[in-house]
Amino acid sequence: MTVTEGQPISAAMTPAEAAAHVVATNPTFAVAPAVIRGTTFKTFKNIPATVPALMAAGRAQHGGGALDYLLYEGERWTYGEFCSEVNRMAQAMQSAFSVGKGDRVAIAMRNYPELLTLVLAISATGATVVFVNAWWTTSELEYALRDSGARLVFADGPRAERLASLVTPLNLTVVGVRDGEAQASQSYSAMRDSAFSDQPPEVSIDTDDDFAVMYSSGTTGHPKGVVQTHRGAVNAVFSWLMMAVMAPLVTPPAPDAPPAPRPSALVVTPLFHVTATHPLFLLSLAAGAHITLMRKWDAEEAVRLIEGEKITRFLGVPTQSAELMQAAAAQGTTLHTLDYLGSGGAKRPGAQVAELAKAFPNAGIATGWGMTETNALGIGMIGDDYLKRPESAGKLHPPLQELRLLDDAGREVPIGELGEITVKSPANMRCYLNKPNETDEVLQDGWLRTGDLAKIDQEGYVTILDRKKNIIIRGGENIACLDVEGALHRLPEVREACAFSVPDLRLGEVVGAVVQLRDGCTLTCAQVAQALEGQLAGFKQPQFLWTQHTPLLRGATDKIDRRGLRKVCLEKHEETT
């Protein structure tokens, strides 16, 4: 496998021309139709068929296995050492627990190196990885384990403690990892050391077999188990890899430019979510990238690691980008090795884009939209395109995806009108686990209805305005919460903002908002109305405003918890009326 084949190009191409050129000239990215579950999709025809094959094929990109691959708090692995440990754990799982096709094996831990090893080891046996949220309570863990049917769980200390009361009723086997080894009946290190071989197990895995169950961050009720296939994951990986191959065709480097450095990524978000697993970890296998794990987010430590390890790629939620910018400024550095600074999981405030570009002049400031249901593949943009359109999500990543914006009746809306983002690609999930009705609601003939409302312009740039369920309907007028929040973010007094509906006897709903103010600032509804006059339509103005100087409430993925904030604010409102 190589990603550098094709004819040298000196003149700049448009992104569309670059995509067509790469598909036509580089065999790695050749596209062919494939029938998946009765529907025809565009797929890469020459890429590895499964996630374990992705690891094996990536060895050449990592110096035949000799290059450093993984760093965690002073512990280092070459790619060869990492692959050897993956294979030993796969052999150990087969030997000790007869793990194989049809089984589901759960991972419950913070961002430890063993989590990466286990994702690939479980996959290598033909079993399905079940990612559970490391921040979940015992009852939430119980739901996911019952839902998935996983009976073998690898857990660190805090998770092993929360699982203790579930071992007997769920008939669990808990394998302790790191600080969990003393609390569990089995230990990761003992299993690894007992393996008789570091060769990959001989297992037949189909490209459309299940790779993982990853639970979405639902804010009401139980989360949904998103079932991802091997084909879905590897096609997403090679879509991103193709973007990297296209980049020098769109923006050719100077003739005397030095060779691009080896890619190196800092993982700062939880590995039980797609933002970290897919476009960072899984992509690193094929891209020949180095991976550095952070035990927990710390902006000052992130600056130290980026400088010390020559990190080139940073992908986190918007608050992490903002905190990294502040920490870098405090330490007097522009983090010159960064060439990519992306945002995922939540929309970055538009005003932050230019600030980041100024703070990190060598980095391409990027944004992306993707879902657990799409293996994180979706829409994005970087650099000048993003600076010109800081409120946009970007364009559809080529070449496999198709996009439609649909109304409630399933009809495609005209350019410039609001519709639901609906995507078709081999990266789409297979289903929601054990939820056929919910699956049928969102998956139709290969098309995934995402629930995100957006507009698309003549050039193909998509601007996401809200989730369907985050629309405020005021007297028949639809108001996108993100529209209100974007306006509030432009006020100098406001650090963060969240809008939501407030019940109203006359209009049905009116706009309410809670904001985090900058230190020493105050703000009233009247002041907001005055400041936003001419910028935000009168019917969109917040009629109720709650202010605080502490960060806004967040959920498990560090996204602002809109429903939780709304509940708290409405309770305060009821107490005062």
Joined tokens for residue 209: 């077999």
What pLDDT is stored for residue 504 in this prediction? Answer: 84
* 3-class state of residue 205 by DSSP: coil
| Residues 410-451: tens digit of each pLDDT | 999 999 999 999 999 999 999 999 999 999 999 999 999 999
Q: State the 10-residue block means of pLDDT for the chain, 577 residues long.
A: 50 92 98 97 98 97 98 97 98 96 97 98 98 88 96 97 97 98 95 92 97 75 89 98 95 90 95 94 98 95 98 92 95 97 83 95 95 96 95 96 95 95 98 96 95 94 84 77 89 94 84 95 93 83 95 83 92 84
Of 228, 252, 280, the position where a domain reaches its end is 228
Q: Does residue 212 lie in a domain region?
A: yes
223 contact partners, CB below 8 Å, separation of at least 6: 133, 144, 215, 216, 217
Q: Does residue 44 lie in a domain region?
A: no
Angle at 165 between CA 101 and CA 182, to 5 degrees: 80
* 3-class state of residue 319 by DSSP: helix
Indicate the pTM of the whole model: 0.86
* 3-class state of residue 133 by DSSP: coil
Counting other chains too, the contacts that 88-91 makes at CB distance below 8 Å and 24 or more residues apart are 88/192, 88/195, 88/197, 88/198, 89/117, 89/118, 89/121, 89/188, 89/191, 89/192, 89/195, 90/120, 90/121, 90/122, 90/124, 90/125, 90/200, 90/201, 91/195, 91/196, 91/197, 91/198, 91/199, 91/201
Burial (CB count <10 Å: 0-12, 13-18, 19+), residue 202: exposed
Q: Does residue 543 lie in a domain region?
A: yes
Of 228, 256, 275, the position where a domain reaches its end is 228
Cis peptide bond N-terminal to 399, omega within 30:
yes
> What is the DSSP code (8-state) at residue 311?
-
Answer for the pair 205, 50: CB distance below 8 angstroms, yes or no: yes
Answer for the pair 213, 129: CB distance below 8 angstroms, yes or no: yes
What pLDDT is stored for residue 234 in this prediction? Answer: 98
Can you tell me which residue has the tokens 């994180």?
A: 376
Answer for the pair 306, 337: CB distance below 8 angstroms, yes or no: yes
Q: For residue 219, give the CATH number of its domain.
A: 3.40.50.980
Helices (H), 175-266: 188-194, 230-250
Q: For residue 562, give the CATH number of its domain.
A: 3.30.300.30
The amino acid sitting at 554 is: R
Q: At what angle do helices 230-250 and 15-25 cross, to 10 degrees?
A: 120
Answer for the pair 278, 237: CB distance below 8 angstroms, yes or no: yes
Of 172, 201, 228, the position where a domain reaches its end is 228
Answer for the pair 271, 154: CB distance below 8 angstroms, yes or no: no
Joined tokens for residue 177: 């990892």
- H/E stretch holding 456: strand 447-456
CA distances from 387 to 200, 312, 326, 515, 537 (A): 46, 20, 20, 25, 25
Residue of 274, 255, 249, 436 lying closest to 368 (CA atoms): 274
CA distances from 244 to 7, 15, 263, 275, 528 (A): 16, 12, 11, 18, 43
The strand pair at 173-176 and 152-155 is best described as: parallel
What pLDDT is stored for residue 473 in this prediction? Answer: 77
What pLDDT is stored for residue 467 in this prediction? Answer: 74
The strand pair at 290-293 and 313-316 is best described as: unpaired
What pLDDT is stored for residue 476 in this prediction? Answer: 63
How far from chain centre, in Å, is Cα 464? 17
Q: Does residue 384 lie in a domain region?
A: no
- Do you know the residue count of the chain? 577
Residue 130: how many other CB atoms lie within 10 Å: 27
DSSP 385-436: HHHH-TT--BEEPTTT-EEEEE-TTSPBPPTTS-EEEEEE-TTS-SEETT-H
What pLDDT is stored for residue 475 in this prediction? Answer: 72
Q: Does residue 286 lie in a domain region?
A: no
Angle at 428 between CA 426 and CA 432, to 5 degrees: 140
Domain carrying residue 485? 479-575
What pLDDT is stored for residue 1 in this prediction? Answer: 46
What phi and psi, each to the nearest 5 degrees, are found at residue 90?
A: -65, -45
Q: Does residue 242 lie in a domain region?
A: no
CA distance 105 to 148: 9
What pLDDT is stored for residue 30 in this prediction? Answer: 98
Residue of 88, 67, 87, 91 lying closest to 78 (CA atoms): 67
Q: Does residue 26 lie in a domain region?
A: no
CA distances from 348 to 131, 321, 494, 557 (A): 26, 9, 14, 15
Average model confidence (pLDDT) across the chain: 93
Q: How many CA atoms lie within 13 A of 458 on its CB side?
A: 0
What pLDDT is stored for residue 536 in this prediction? Answer: 81
Question: How many domains does the structure of the chain reveal?
Answer: 2
Q: Does residue 296 lie in a domain region?
A: no
How far from chain centre, in Å, is Cα 50? 20
CA distance 192 to 118: 11
Residue 282: how many other CB atoms lie within 10 Å: 27
Residue 467: how many other CB atoms lie within 10 Å: 16
